[in-house]
Structure 1
Amino acid sequence: MAKWADLVAFVRSEYQVVDQTPDEISIYVEFEDERSQVIWLSHEVLDGKEDWVQIASPCGLAAKVNLPALLKEVGHTTVVGGVAIMGEHVVLRHALPLENLDINEFVDPLTLLAGTVDTLEEQFSGGDSF
Structure 2
Amino acid sequence: MATWGDLAAYVRDQYDVIAQEDDEIRILFTFDHLDEEDERTQVIILVREVLDRKHEWVQIATPMGLASAVDLKALLEEIGHSSIACGAAIMGEHVVLRHSLPLQTLDIHEFTDPLALVAGTADTLEEQFFGGDNY
- Tell me whether the two structures share a fold, i.e. TM-score over 0.5: yes
- Residue 71 of structure 2 is aligned to residue 66 of structure 1: yes
Q: Which residue of 1 aligns with 2:7?
A: 7
Aligned to 1:113: 118
TM-score (norm 1): 0.98
Task: Name the CA distance, whole Å, in 2 between partners of 1:56 and 1:25.
Answer: 11
- Could you tell me which amino acid in structure 1 is paired with residue 117 of structure 2? L
Determine the structure 2 residue equivalent to 1:96: 101
SS of residue matched to 1:63: helix
Which of these residues, 40, 45, 59, is aligned with residue 45 of structure 2? Answer: 40
* CA distance, structure 2, for counterparts of residue 21 and residue 29 of structure 1: 18
- Structure 2, unmatched stretches of 5+, are none
Letter in 2 for 1:12: R
Residue 30 (structure 1) shift = 1.1
What secondary structure sits across from 2:57 in the alignment?
strand
Using the TM superposition, name which of 26-35 and 62-71 deviates more.
26-35
Q: How many residues align?
A: 130
Query: Following TM superposition, where does structure 1 have runs of at least 4 consecutive aligned residues deviating by more than 3 angstroms?
Result: none
The code of the aligned residue for 2:23 comes to D
Rounded Cα–Cα distance in structure 2 between residues aligned with 1:35 and 1:68:
26
Percent identical: 63
Q: Deviations over 1:69-108 (max 9, x none)?
A: 0000000010110000011100000000000100000000
RMSD over equivalenced CA pairs, Å: 0.6
Alignment TM-score, normalising by the size of structure 2: 0.95
* Structure 1 portions without partners, runs of 5+: none
Write the distance in 1 (CA, Å) between the matches of 2:94 and 2:111: 23
Deviation digits for residues 17-41 of structure 1 (CA, Å, limit 9, x no counterpart)? 0100000000001112411100000
